[in-house]
Structure 1
């Protein structure tokens, strides 16, 4: 019977093998198979563990291997719960064992299993073969391998060589990281080799941070010591997922990007990592340590590295980064302190940069490339931060060093970077200067600083979320061309330093020159350009220019747009010669098209060795040192110097307001002296001015017109004299001089006012082409109360004294100063036309006309006039020892005396009067001769005649008058009185002699003499007496006034012969010096 059964089974086995058709086992067969399998399961999993089958299909393959397809397979624990639940399981049996009635598995394929793997907080693994069951902890990977080896050592599984899983779903929960991964579409192969277990697990990752990710893990574990080699190939797996799987890869967790590549590692018998190598390709993503961190995007990266756990060291053979901003190729190593004891807290890296290209979009104008470099930095993983100890980058022999710190903050990144550069070309610095950092200052530097080598470059950058970036930059420069203003020539070979700090920028020029439009080079060392707040719109620049050089060069710079000071002043830039040292403070907005109104400036300076004949046309101006000042309102040049060798201390000013167009002024003080007047083209009479004084001057300069000079002086320190007027002023006294001159060719005195030492003169002076006097016209000349006239002085050519014409006014000879001989020897001809010439009290000549010629000892000439405006008179002037002598003649002496109120009723006769100056003021010695004068109604003479009782003479005098055939007198005329030395009047009826005093003020008389009646006969003895006295006569005295005389006669004197009359004569009265 067994043989029959065996043959029947053999035939069935052969038929199934030949047909290849599956045979679904009946229920009894399934139960039988379940029972047999449970015997094996019990041996493996322990008593109480059982297998439950929902169905079974038997099939024999073409290779005569029997297989079972088990459906709805569940492994039940003793408590009835499922340990494993699989929708389908396929088992390949050992044919020889089947022939012996035994079940030995050759291979096992699980389809559709849903399993769970959990890493506990203590690092142990729990494996749940069916979701929802209680997991069983396993000590790490070594525990898993040990459990697998033990499983394969079971007799029923000892021939099991391959376990496969398809459509595997694996849920991985990591309590240590707080992460859960869903691994789907899994496929696994576990090969039971003689000396090792080999497993390959491929899954699709659906629980990570990227889509469509997959991973394949290959593990080969030695059965002897459980050491293993593991290779993981990933495709677009999230960086954070990879970082979570192994501590040496924890630093990848700061990336938000998919990673593809391979990670090969070795594990020791305890499952600890003993080595790791990786080649990773990182796709487009970002540096993003936390979900709240603002991402720093990149296009891709690649990493090739190995890890040595013993030294906790990563060796990076290749590191490349590609982004829109950065392209990096580098290598190096890093340390992961504490990684072997757990997850590392930081990464300490030293990187060798093979090439680096910076091209931040919208930041740099063009990419910046470095050929090599080194980078030392620390990455703090929790919380994240980067500490840059040192960056050294090399480019064409130039070294850039930097350090800093980068940390994420709420809303962005906090960045602090300091950089140093030994030297760099100017254009290369601009390439490194971010365009958005103090952008306007960068634009200004790019536009206005050219060429040049920058050294000792120091930069700092600070960035905080929600705050304006802070940028600092400092460097020394040399060989640079710098332009402070676009309209001005650039500074050549500039050397100095520049600083950008916070919102400010400053450039200091320690050396440099500007090629001025004319006049050569100007040294502007010490100049400063600064922007106080670069964030202003527009930013305002403050420029402090220091300039030193030729004056023409400096002025030509000041005449460039937008200033054009010299053009506005209508002055040439080659105004004169000299050296300028100036400072200019300019304030202007940094914008295009600045106009002069936009620029606030203040220029101060010093001009040394100045010389010009153009500032005051036709006059040379010199100064050792002048101060220069230019503001938007005006240009000023001030200081001490000399104009035509005339010392001055003046200020030249040019106002820029439209109403002052073409106008400028010179104000200050100048020397007042004869030399100064001569040097200014004004010729003064010899002796008029001596010594030195100071005058306040103002010169108005009008384009197209001769300069106007206004001079004012107190005359302190100068001596003045007009000898012809007997006037002088000492240097210690003061006065007033006011001159308004037109400094043309020739100069012209439009107005002159002189007030000093009693002299007041007002007039104008015009000069001849050679600078000599043409005409001086004085509308008013007053002096000492005796002169009030109008006069003209007309030049007669070089070396000749001017002609003087008095055209009107009054002269009072009573106040005439004493003349000095020879005073008028250098004077020219004088023409007098006086309204009145006062000689004494009550005696004046009106309508006085004279033409006189000065000579040694006085003047000579003739004159005419009217006595007190009535009787015409003529005379002549002649030099004398003490001045000018006067001779008066008239053919109507009676009218002259009547007009002079000496003898109001005198008539007829001729007169010849000579007055010679004594040297005393207003005092003359006079000689008078008259013929044929008739005297009527003379009170004093009437009283005298009445006193001597000469019958008929009184009636004659009161009638037709007494005729005196000859009258002679010698006297002294002073401003107060007439001192009669000896006088006589003789006629047929009467002879009179007189001596005494006639006081002009009030007409007071004090006269004595002799009266001789019947002089025709009595005068026979006159040769024995004085003239006018006869042989017999009466001595008399007359006192009182001319109108009310008091006469006394000595009758006894009649009997005294003339020769003895002197015994009765007293001394004649003299003028009291106090009168």
Structure 2
């Protein structure tokens, strides 16, 4: 039969209905006598089948474009020798077009042979068949053109859908079928074979981006599974939407790996994937965050902007269906991360230059290694529990140990490097629970550190510890407690007050720092306009370390005390001078029975409230009982601030503070005003001191006093000089006190004073006049109109001696010019 159209025979052979190609059939049939002498029985047959160019429409509607095919079949039907009838496919070859009218160089060629055995070819019960085929080369993009529907149907569907690019070489396939109930119930009993593949694009879990450029070997393991071993290639990664701080496409280089697809005879398959990958950490995180994998859905990646190199050995077993739950996935991953960066790792600090080993499964994750946390060398370990547990339990745990030195603190921009030498160890313990609460415990071991903050010093080698516990809820701060600091002359206990995830106040329940002891509270600002508010209630406060620094950094022995620097510098905060941009406003409320301002000097029963607007001190209320009752107030005034001060015993205050030791008594007042319209905020006011006595007065001053009859009746010691009044108009600016037309004296002696006092450099430069018999001598100078002729100085007299006072404040030198007393009035001024 030549050039027949099998489609015309579909009524007799239904399977030929889809075959639209010319067919040529040639053969012979051998008969032998049957048991019935009138009949012949077929003994053997042979046929050669040839198909021309055409198409075969398969049961699923797909089309095989056939260029040509031929097959030789021999049938042995005689079972008299004990062998079952069988049919041998001895020679088969076919060429399939990649698509209709495609050129021949793209054809897929097939060579095959096989055997069919049956106990009866017409009415069989036991049937078995095998087919072996070889395809030298195929293109995975058009693999359906060479893979008939119904042959390894599951493998055909998965491969055609998920391996979309690449070439295969020397595909070998072995298929076995068998049945015990005739032709209608045959089943595939054996599938084997494989091929080498190059340049594959494998969609291993759509819509996860595919692996590209994979070289490997595909093996048909059995009728329901296939395996792919591969190397080379890379995994495409889409970074968008995966919270890695980058967009666009990334890639992970694929090393050796394998993929096994099981349950090919079912609707959904199972994938078992083992692969080694290397590349950027951000790409690895983006891959694990793919929704189809669902690995990070329950525990999202907690860091920002990951980067660095990662090498991963990954095994994933999961169902290959559209929706995958985390409980359906089995994960076993091991990774080595090198030189990584993780943003927002601990309290806003980043991890840099991390070298970490990670192991992960669907049950949990562990990680450990070395890193820089905020610039500080650290060692860390971390674990995460992925298991479902209805009870509240710990889901994350971490521990970090850091080594802090002045150099590492400086590199981490921690403002502590100038306050210690040596080293300190920092331990951080972290735990998070399934109810979204977390706790961070920080501990600082300062034994090997030499700490030298202004109010406390601990040499290296002596124990010193500090710790605090921080609670979090839903990612927000919920509490800070168990604030503890211990060490030599150090005992601090405290906590914080938290509202809406923000620390409102720091409460120091008790403190003992050197000679200071008490309790304190610091209320923190809510915004830039709010002030820091500090309240201190103490049994003693020691400010001497702030006023006289004595500690040497680096743990070195303390040198011999340096001579006390001269000067009485007034801080800018007190003077009101503007230095730099405005800062945060603050207030301090202090009450203590004892305030140390030097090693052996104290103020008693001190209360103080200070308010600073971030530029200067705007308000002050100060009071004390000893060494003399005193008050100081500062109040805002138009364009400035008004100061008012009173001291009940000026001599006691000057003596106790070491300024002057030879003054007794005297009620002192200071009234004046700061002019805040000028950057230096100069002060102008008047200092007044009531009756007081100057002990061990200079001889010249006593001599002038004795020239007056009033001095004979004062009843003072021969070395004392009584003063009835002191009134000094003064101006203060840039550390210098300027005095104009000051008056001081008693009935016997009057004096004028002018000049300046340089507080910063502890230098007096004053001059004036001494007027004996002041009560009488000064009268002509007060005459209207002509008084300046008799006394050119305010508060002077007709006969007065000029003097100068120079030198340090605590020990000045007085020089009197006695000859000037011989020149009355205006003549004295002319010859000065």
TM-score (norm 2): 0.50
Higher alpha-carbon Rg:
1
Comparing both chains, which one has the higher relative contact order based on Cα–Cα distances under 8 Å and sequence gaps of 6 or more? 2
Give the TM-score taking structure 1 as reference length.
Answer: 0.40
